[in-house]
Structure 1
């Protein structure tokens, strides 16, 4: 009986190895990242602080991300406005990397990632425009930017700079 279990386990592990290879790039981004950024709310630039943690799960088949952004206003410590849990996965059938984000209001959008050597990009479709996000890593530095395109005009709406702790 234990021989059969060993053979089945070995078979499952060998099947996981090629799959985990699709996710290996995320390994170098594991850790806790802290920093600050800004976002546009209409014509107002709002500054915020951030902490994001990326962890490897299920032998590297999935990477999870926990992200919190908050306004550091006087008299309102830790005024959290962005509190999201996400997963990075690889869809074998479609051969695509995916980012699923779980928001407090119960929505779970899934975005296709375009992988780069030093990061990834994704698009957020909106009703009248589009929003393109990019994340670039350089060692222990994380830079994220968001651009909205509306009526053919591109405008930066978001920037986040963090360091690995």
Structure 2
């Protein structure tokens, strides 16, 4: 799939270094990511192993990436637990570089991840979003997610307590 000068596809093991670089950049440029700068493992080896497991079916999870040329500029990670009772639900984490925001890339990534979930027979996607992250909250609502609850004062961000919405999308 191509949108706004970027291509969107499932991540491959060879994307591991670029994906780690993207996540580290997002940790620095956005207060909305869960990890603080420096908390993320910088070695792409474990990400490469995870992506290999996703590609060969050992791991039911998947990642969708957006590339502008050879550069990964956004992603949606859908983590699926390996347990029989939980295999139809995926937990979503998403991020797009600030210099690519506002161009429809987040929506295209999310729609691609939702289509992939449907093609895999999944029944539910879920995520959390910081209460004051209005841009992401709007995106998730436009993509069909609904607020299912509020995790009051769930995080500490720059010395202040931040609440998160818990959101879910049922996939038919």
Same fold? TM cut 0.5: no
TM-score normalised per structure 1 = 0.29
> Larger radius of gyration, structure 1 or 2?
1
Task: Tell me which of the two structures has the higher relative contact order, counting C-alpha pairs closer than 8 angstroms and 6 or more residues apart.
Answer: 2
More strand by share: 1
